[in-house]
A and B are shown apart, each in its own frame.
Chain A
Amino acid sequence: MSPWIRILIYLVAAPIVGGLLAGWDRRISARMQSRRGPPIRQPFYDVMKLWDKQSFVTRRSQNFYIGFFLVMIIFTGALFFGGSDLLLVIFALTLAAIFFVLGAYKASSPYSFVGAERELIQMMAYEPMILLTAIGMYMVTKSFAVNEIASHPTLLVLMLPGIFLGFLYTLEIKFRKSPFDLSCSHHAHQELVSGITTEFSGRTLALIEIAHWYENVFLLGWVYLFFASMPVLGVAMSLLVFVFVILVDNVFARLKWQTAVRSAWLVAAVLGFGNILVLSLMR
């Protein structure tokens, strides 16, 4: 398949898949809590409703940052599914996340400010492991290009078990789920109010939602890379990982940010670095 076709499929299908995943997330979470839960299509209804609402802002330029956050997230996913350099994908993802954070800073409200600070702390927590994941994949496949990693004959997870577990750990942070929903809570009655998204409303909030759908599909695509030599297993594992993340979300309470950073760095240092050390000794 030509990279352009893959990018096109991603652009069209990712919001649909992402939205459906969000719907399943709510349904599965509800069932875990012995509730019925909303219909699967609820996230789409929510976004449509938000789209028609009036846009309130605290600072007039805050929404531009969110617009670019969405654009950069889509760009990141397009780079990934287009088969580009994995490190470049990480840098684009970072750039996107920074636009999100800067938008919250711009809003200049205490709650979005705390959310922005915590989001940065979360980024600092997951960044090392994400980079080590790319490096581990490079050491096995001798390439940073996503398409070459995907077409490599070995089942990467067998060579990178530590890195895979570490990556799972950071996914918990990246999905902003408990125990790491430090920066942005979906339940506005908490001490954080709604964190980084507190001052965003209407269409802008809808854009943030859509950006998360794109982002989640891209992240699950990365999980797939670990199993890329066996595509069916890959898709199944990606979905399983998603369910696992939901389970963890429902089982754990929120951790302190100190614990988040320490534990994520410990995981990166032990599982991630340990795996790389073993690989470099095997060469």
Chain B
Amino acid sequence: MLVLTLILVPLAAGLLLLGLKPDLPRKILVSGVTLAVCCGSVALALLPMAGWPPHVELQDLPVSAHAINLGMFLVELAMSLFILYVGIRAKKPLIVLLILAQAGLMVWFELGPGAHLEVAQNLFVDKFTVIMALINGIVGGGICIYALGYMREYHEVAHRDVPDRRPLFFALLFIFMGAMFGLVFANNLVWLYLFWEITTLCSFLLIGYTQTEEAKRNALLALVMNLAGGLAFAVAIVWLQKKTGSIELQAMINSPDKALLLLPAALLCFAGITKSAQLPFSSWLLGAMVAPTPVSALLHSSTMVKAGVYLVLRMAPLVASTKVGMMVALVGAVTFVVGSLAAITSSEAKRVLAWSTVANLGLIVLCGGIGTYEAVWAGILLIIFHAVAKCLLFLCVGVVEHKLHSRNIEDMSGLVVRMPRVAIMMQIGMAGMFLAPFGMLISKWAVLKAVVDAYPSLSVFIAFGSAATLFFWVKWMGKLIEVVRPAERIKKELVLGEAIALYGLSAATALACLLFPLISSRFIEPYIYAVYGQSASLGAGNIIIMTIMMAMVLLFPVSFMGYGRGVKVVDAYLGGANVHSGVQFRSTADSVQDVAMGNYYLRNMFSEAWLSRWGVIGCALLLVAMLTVAFL
């Protein structure tokens, strides 16, 4: 029942919120549902340990399975008609074509061959599902709480020109969340497909929230790319049913005849790659930044893109050590390098974060393509740590954007003085993204080992990509802590909702690292063991060393106790006579010059456009090769 509650409560709350105009009841409803969903997902994780395995029987429901399927079919039909309408109104023949093809296929399937299909188990729960549900519940919940405070400031202070459609906004957030729960619990692929399409539609509506020309354009771009993935999904279902007579995810994964399933697996990987914004489809995620920050956080951390890599990792056992798997791995590897290099060239905070998401998802897709037990273990670790740290970073940037009216990294100079709390939490998030001994680095380490054991030559991608990652994070960190000129502290850094979400996520970033051995042994390893019959882990010795390092890093703030003791403060050396306490100096011909320092973006060396163009071409060729190999 818990599983059904987790899916249905956010969906119901979403529909309810749609009609809720006043602020206060919305606040109460959002907080209540978020709390319920958080508790629900934690309960789902903890109950089996107390000896209560989750029940996912549908028999005890008052409605028949047939009625549920009919209801879902109608929802699907309604969504298809809506997308068709959007496509026609926007005069986008590609959208019309894609939605007609996939809706036509699914209607034919569900009225024809799929009508009398007996599905033994529509929903299921395993350890991987539980992890995804936890991320969705806790991180997604945090975003909803944050959005309460953020959206109010968004409409009442920062963006008065944008029409206030908050009921729709919150409704979509919760429907999105419910669909994501459905997606990870679904065993019946038709159900999974429906939830998949709901996330596509929700992301389209959320990206277009502000209804500016740019927002509309980018929303349509996201729609068209995700519809391409949806079409591949639909074809996979039809093919699977025709060849095996079953549309159950677990049956597919556990099937002994892996060669027969290679094509549907490849198609589902393709769908996953579109949804997780890998090259050549990365542009939709970059375009999604036009939406308000909670949307970006939601798309980048707990839902949407994570749905894509979830599906790719599910397919991992099927594509392991095949040519299809190799192609998927290469797409991920190329995306990782291109994303990391492109992030160097950008000074816009959200864009850097977006490229970094694309790159990190590339690593996860790489793991899925390799498909060995080590790789999948590393991939799941990446999903967990990335969700928490990236969400924290997006939410921090959102707050900074409201206060400084800029999301340019150069404008964040001295943030540690102006907004100390946010600056420190941002640094926690960044450390979580790339530094030892935090989570993402542990995961990258695991990825590297898995890659070296499977395809050693692919490790070169990780080597170059990691080097670039290091560069763009550290120069951003440096900007936050440098203080060139005196600055005033901004009053009231955070409103309540924002504070809860940010403090919670900062704690989660640190906790995820400290509890990482437990997360691995209780959740990831049992799942890997169930699928592969063997499992990976970090050796005990290494865990001890990581813990020592963690302790040392946590001691670093303690050293600030000696702040300003035993030192004489002087002005910086400027190569000329300092004029105004170290922020101006006397230069040639007695002119007075301001001190200005700007980060390197290496735009002469790598250009974003060049990288994207060749990345898109390369990865598109790889995908064509993948599908060709799978068909043959």
Binding site for B on A (CB under 8 A): 54-61, 63-64, 67-68, 71-72, 75, 79, 84-85, 87-88, 91-92, 94-95, 98, 101-102, 105-113, 116-117, 120-121, 123-125, 127-129, 131-132, 135, 138-139, 144, 193, 198-199, 258, 261-262, 265, 268-269, 272-273, 276-277, 279-280
The 6 closest A-B pairs by CB, nearest first: A109-B572, A105-B478, A127-B467, A91-B436, A128-B463, A60-B564
Query: Are A127 and B482 in contact, CB atoms less than 8 angstroms apart?
Result: no
Q: Which residues of A contact B597 (CB under 8 A)?
A: 108, 110, 113
Q: List chain B residues, Cβ under 8 A from A75.
A: 549, 552
A56 to B569, CA, bound (A): 6
Sampled A-B contacts (17; CB under 8 Å) = A59-B483, A60-B564, A68-B556, A94-B435, A95-B553, A98-B435, A106-B483, A107-B572, A108-B483, A109-B573, A109-B574, A110-B572, A111-B572, A113-B482, A120-B600, A132-B459, A258-B605
Q: Type the 1/0 row for B441-468, where 1 means its CB is closer than 8 Å to any CB of A.
A: 1000100110010011101101110111
CA gap between A116 and B456 in the complex, in Å: 33
The answer on a CB contact under 8 Å between B570 and A132 is no
Query: A131: which of B448, B559, B582, B604 is its contact (CB, 8 Å)?
Result: B448
B349 to chain A, nearest CB (A): 17
| A106-B573 contact, Cβ under 8 Å, with A85-B542, A123-B471, A127-B470 | no
| B567 proximity list for chain A (CB < 8 A) | 55-57, 60, 63
- Known contacts A131-B462, A276-B459; A117/B549 CB under 8 A: no
Within 8 Å CB of A265, what residues of B?
A: 464
Known: A56-B568, A63-B567, A199-B573. A131 touches B463 (CB 8 A): yes
Contact (A92, B470) CB under 8 Å given A105-B482, A109-B573: no
B571 interfacial contact with A, CB 8 Å: yes
Q: Which residues of B contact A128 (CB under 8 A)?
A: 460, 463-464, 466-467
Q: Contact at A269–B483, with CB atoms within 8 Å?
A: no
Given A94-B470, A121-B600, also A87-B448 (CB < 8 A): yes
Residues of B within 8 A of A67 (CB): 559
Please give, as numbers and ranges, the residues of chain B lying within 8 Å of A127 by CB-CB distance. 463, 466-467, 470
Min CB distance, A176 to chain B, in Å? Answer: 17
Look across to chain A and name the residue whose beta carbon is closest to the beta carbon of B484.
Answer: A108
- CB distance A57 to B568 under 8 Å? yes
Encode contact with A along B512-550: 1 for CB under 8 Å, 0 otherwise.
000000000000000000000000000001100110010
Question: Given the complex, which residues of B lie within 8 Å of A91, measured CB to CB?
Answer: 436-437, 441, 445
A211 to chain B, nearest CB (A): 15
Contacts of A72 in B (CB 8 A): 552
A193 touching B575 by the CB < 8 A rule? yes
Q: Are A57 and B569 in contact (CB under 8 A)?
A: yes
Q: Can you name 13 extra interface pairs (CB under 8 A) apart from A56-B570, A105-B477, A124-B468? A: A56-B567, A60-B563, A68-B552, A72-B552, A87-B445, A91-B436, A109-B572, A117-B600, A120-B475, A132-B459, A199-B572, A272-B460, A280-B457
Asked whether B52 is an interface residue with its Cβ less than 8 Å from the other chain, the reply is: no
With a cutoff of 8 Å between Cβ atoms, the chain B residues found around residue A124 in the complex are: 467-468, 470-471
- Asked if residues A276 and B457 are in contact (CB atoms below 8 Å), the reply is yes
Q: Which residues of B contact A110 (CB under 8 A)?
A: 572, 574-575, 595, 597
Q: Which residue of A lies closest to B585 (CB)?
A: A110
Residues of B341-391 whose CB lies within 8 A of A: none
Interface of A (DSSP majority class): helix
The residue in chain A whose Cβ has the minimal distance to the Cβ of B453 is: A138
Q: What is the minimal beta-carbon distance from B337 to any residue of chain A, in angstroms?
A: 10
The docked-state distance in angstroms from the alpha carbon of A199 to that of B597 is 16
- Establish whether residues A139 and B470, one from each chain, have CB atoms under 8 Å apart when the complex forms: no
Q: Which residue of A lies closest to B444 (CB)?
A: A91
Contact residues in A for B436 (Cβ distance below 8 Å): 88, 91-92, 94-95
CA distance A145 to B471 in the complex (A): 27
Cβ of A92: which chain B residues have Cβ within 8 Å of it? 436, 549
Per-residue contact bits, chain B 480-503, to A (CB 8 Å; 1 contact, 0 not): 011110000000000000000000
Contacts of B600 in A (CB 8 A): 117, 120-121
Contact indicator B475/A55 (Cβ below 8 Å): no
Residues of A within 8 A of B602 (CB): 121
Q: Is the CB of A102 within 8 A of B460?
A: no
- Distance of A101 Cα from B563 Cα, bound (Å): 19
Per the bound structure, the CA–CA distance linking A113 and B413 in Å amounts to 12
Of A102, A193, A276, the residue contacting B573 (CB under 8 A) is: A193
Contact status A101-B556, CB under 8 Å = no
B555, chain A: closest CB distance, angstroms: 9
B629 on interface, CB distance cutoff 8 Å? no
CA–CA, A72 and B549, complex, Å: 9
Q: Give per-residue flags for B280-303: 1 if the beta carbon is below 8 A from chain A beta carbons, else 0.
A: 000000000000000000000000
B631 within 8 A of A: no
Q: Is B599 an interface residue (CB 8 A)?
A: yes
- Option from B441, B456, B460, B573 in Cβ contact (under 8 Å) with A139: B456
Asked if residues B478 and A116 are in contact (CB atoms below 8 Å), the reply is yes
Q: Are A132 and B463 in contact (CB under 8 A)?
A: yes
Partner of B572, one of A84, A94, A108: A108
For B470, what are the chain A residues with a Cβ–Cβ distance below 8 Å?
94, 98, 120, 123-124, 127
Across the interface, do A117 and B475 meet the contact criterion of CB distance under 8 Å?
Answer: yes
Complex CA gap A111/B582 in Å reads: 13
**B572 contacts A58, C-beta separation under 8 Å:** yes
Identify which of A56, A84, A101, A261 contacts B545 (C-beta below 8 A): A84
- Tell whether B15 is near chain A: CB-to-CB under 8 Å: no
B474 on the A face (CB < 8 A): yes
A71 in contact with B459 given A98-B435, A101-B474 (CB within 8 Å) = no
Q: Complex: how many Å from CA A116 to CA B474?
A: 10
Provide the bound-state CA to CA distance between A117 and B599, in Å: 7
Q: Report whether B545 and A64 are in contact in the complex, using a CB–CB cutoff of 8 Å.
A: no
In the complex, are the beta carbons of B573 and A198 less than 8 A apart? yes
Residue B566, interface by CB 8 Å = yes
From A84, A110, A111, name the one whose CB has the most chain B CB atoms within 10 angstroms: A110
Across the interface, which residues of A come within 8 angstroms of B435, CB to CB? 94-95, 98
Shortest B628–chain A CB gap in Å is 25
Which residues does chain A contribute within 8 Å of B573, judged by CB atoms?
109, 111, 193, 198-199
- Name A102's contact: one of B448, B459, B478 (CB within 8 Å): B478
Chain A's nearest CB lies how many Å from the CB of B270? Answer: 28
Is B575 in contact with A111, judged by CB distance below 8 angstroms?
yes
Once bound together, how far apart are the Cα atoms of A32 and B541, in whole Å? 47
Contacts of B552 in A (CB 8 A): 68, 71-72, 75
Nearest-Cβ distance from residue B384 to partner chain A, whole angstroms: 19
Asked if B456 and A60 sit within 8 Å, CB to CB, the answer is: no
A199 vs B560: C-alpha distance in the bound complex, in angstroms? 19
Q: How far is the CB of A15 from chain B (nearest CB, A)?
A: 20
Across the interface, do A58 and B560 meet the contact criterion of CB distance under 8 Å?
Answer: no
Closest residue to A104 on the B side, CB-wise? Answer: B478
* Selected contact of A64 from candidates B448, B462, B482, B556, CB within 8 Å: B556
Contacts of B445 in A (CB 8 A): 87-88, 91
CB neighbours (8 Å) of B553 from chain A are 95
**Which B residues are in CB contact (< 8 Å) with A198?**
573
Q: Mark B75-100, 1 if CB is under 8 A from A, else 0.
A: 00000000000000000000000000
Closest-by-CB residue of B relative to A265 is: B464
Assembled-state Cα–Cα distance A101/B482 (Å): 11
B568 contacts A279, CB within 8 Å? no
Q: How far is the CB of B111 from chain A (nearest CB, A)?
A: 51
Closest-by-CB residue of A relative to B441 is A91
Closest to B574 in A: A110
B549: chain A residues within 8 A (beta carbon)? 75, 92, 95
Q: Please pick, from A59, A105, A132, the residue contacting B460 in the complex, using a CB distance under 8 A.
A: A132
Given contacts A92-B436, A127-B463, contact A261 B468 (CB under 8 A): no
Decide if B572 touches A273 in the complex (CB within 8 Å): no
Residue from A102, A111, A120, A280 in contact with B481 in the complex, judged by beta carbons closer than 8 Å: A102
Which residues of chain A have C-beta atoms less than 8 A from B456's C-beta?
Answer: 135, 139, 276, 279-280
In angstroms, Cα B616 to Cα A217, docked, is 45
Known contacts A67-B559, A72-B552, A127-B467: A138-B477 contact under CB 8 Å: no
Q: Are A120 and B471 in contact (CB under 8 A)?
A: yes
